[in-house]
Chain A
Amino acid sequence: KAGVTQTPRYLIKTRGQQVTLSCSPISGHRSVSWYQQTPGQGLQFLFEYFSETQRNKGNFPGRFSGRQFSNSRSEMNVSTLELGDSALYLCASSSSGGFYEQYFGPGTRLTVT
């Protein structure tokens, strides 16, 4: 099976712009989670989707949003980018989410200048 894929792998944006990141889960996986990783805050949970429904959202401002499509692919969007949004954004999929192992993608490295 192909692993979790994330596009793009690297992204440079300017403050105030918006960005959309994409994640394709492992075939058959219906749960997709997003995490932000920074040197200062570590790995922080953003949101989790299952069958197009958001089941949980982390403690992030409303500028961070996401969605899941009927084919389980997911996107996350960050609007009005701030310097502090520079991070590695990781997507993970699992068969149900939370109670089973998560399969992570390689991440998207976002740099905001």
Chain B
Amino acid sequence: SQQGEEDPQALSIQEGENATMNCSYKTSINNLQWYRQNSGRGLVHLILIRSNEREKHSGRLRVTLDTSKKSSSLLITASRAADTASYFCATDAGNDYKLSFGAGTTVTVRA
């Protein structure tokens, strides 16, 4: 079973618009990460936020974490066609040396 659920499952936006996706998880975590996957290829790490952090920025990416609600959001600003991909949140909890992934959000950016 997966730790996280992502919402929405799919998102279609116009180039230049912002894209927001959410992730909810079930148990306490140490860290939450976001990954991008292009068309069935390997995952690329985007950003990591620790459980004691509330917000983090990296370029056009903004991640928030609300541990009281067990949820996180990823905002991509000024989207580009190259942002078309699936986005996954992943959590790790304790010393279990594994990532638990959400189901992913598929983002399509239209030119």
Taking Cβ atoms with an 8 Å cutoff, the residues of A that contact B are: 4, 31, 33, 35, 42-45, 48, 50, 55-56, 58, 88, 90, 92, 97-107, 109
Contact = CB atoms under 8 A, between A and B. Distances in A.
A93 to B, nearest CB: 11
Could you say which of A4, A50, A100 has the most chain B C-beta atoms within 10 Å of its C-beta?
A: A100
A90 B99 CA distance: 13
B97 A42 contact: no
Contacts of B35: 102, 104
Given A33-B98, A42-B104, A55-B97, A107 B42 contact: yes
A101 B33 contact: yes
A43 B30 CA distance: 19
Sort A-B residue pairs by CB-CB distance and give the 7 closest, nearest first: A43-B101, A104-B42, A101-B45, A104-B43, A98-B97, A45-B98, A55-B97
B98 A42 contact: no
Contacts of A42: 2, 101-104
B69 interface: no
A104 to B, nearest CB: 4
A28 B41 CA distance: 23
Given A42-B2, A42-B103, A98 B96 contact: yes
Contacts of B48: 100-101
Given A98-B92, A100-B48, A58 B42 contact: no
Interface in B86-109: 88, 90, 92, 95-104
A88 B40 CA distance: 8
Interface string B6-43: 00000000000000000000000011010100001111
Contacts of B98: 33, 45, 48, 56, 58, 98
